[in-house]
Structure 1
């Protein structure tokens, strides 16, 4: 899931300083789960903007905001309001915000900061799990990502700074490679560690990336 956090409201107001009439868009998926872009949060933002002198002409919870074709269709319900609006405030992730911006000819501003791809540990608690590197290593590491979980992204074992099972960079975090070792030992797969891994090929995740399934047929 894409994990996002609210921007400070002062930053949002700074974006909208030259905009009197605003439309809000949320997202039914990740942003809703993170409590930064669902209907409750959109209505809260609407009230705060109106308290600060903005006219909110309408809002739409996009389903989801990052689906270009669906968002184009959903925004048609705000066709007349968009003609009058000075700006749109997107309460989705960075991807969803860019999707909305691509479809409109007025400024689209972000209400959130996109943090990482993560797992839901429990309600309201999220942990980074994947960097979308384009070359997944989970098959030989026991399902623990060294690129994400190791602060240095090492592929051939731990650095010399781990102490008592904790990371040198952030001692609050477990050392990824000790976790990997213990997991592989549990799976009777320690031989996986005998192969020296070549340096990562960063060309495969040169930005911006794209995937077209038609090319794979």
Structure 2
């Protein structure tokens, strides 16, 4: 899930300083789960904006804001309001905000900061789980990502600076490689630790990245 949180209200109002009529757009997927862009949050933001003299013409929470075709469909429902508005305030992730911006001819401002790709530990509690690095090594590390969980993103074992099982960079975090060792031991795969991993091919994370499944061959490679 993409984890996001609302920007400070002062930053939002700075974006909107020259705007009077606003449309709010959230997202029913990740942003709703993070309580940064669901219906409840948009209603609260509408009230705050109206208290400082802004006019909120409409608000919607699309099924998902990062799907080009779906967001185009949903924006048609409020076409008249968008045509009248000075700006759209998006409470989706950064991807969703950009997808919305492609569809309209007025400014689209982010109401959220996009933080990381993570897992939901429980309601309101999230942890970063994936760096989307393009070369997944989870099959060798017991399902624990060293690129994300290790502060130094080490691919071949611990740095040696851990103390009492905690990371030397951030003692609040468990050492990823100690967690990996324990997990591999449970799985009977400790021998994975002696497999030397080559440095990552960071050309696979050259931005922006694209994936077109229509161009893939039967072997699953482009």
Coarse TM-score class (shorter-chain normalised) = over 0.9
In 2, distance between residues paired with 1:26 and 1:182? 41
Aligned with 1:27: secondary structure?
Answer: coil
2:69 alignment counterpart? 69
Aligned with 1:62: secondary structure?
Answer: coil
- Any residues of structure 2 matched to 1:62-211 within 5 Å, and which? 62-211=62-211
Unaligned runs of 5+ in 2: 218-222
Aligned with 2:182: secondary structure?
Answer: helix
RMSD: 0.7
CA-CA distance at 1:160 after TM superposition: 2.2
In 1, distance between residues paired with 2:201 and 2:145? 16
In 1, distance between residues paired with 2:68 and 2:169? 39
In 1, distance between residues paired with 2:164 and 2:206? 36
In 2, distance between residues paired with 1:199 and 1:94? 29
What's the TM-score once normalised by structure 1's chain length?
0.99
- Cα deviations by residue, 1:58-82 (Å, 9 ceiling, x for unpaired): 1111110001001001100111111
Unaligned runs of 5+ in 1: none
The number of aligned residues is: 217
What's the TM-score once normalised by structure 2's chain length?
0.96
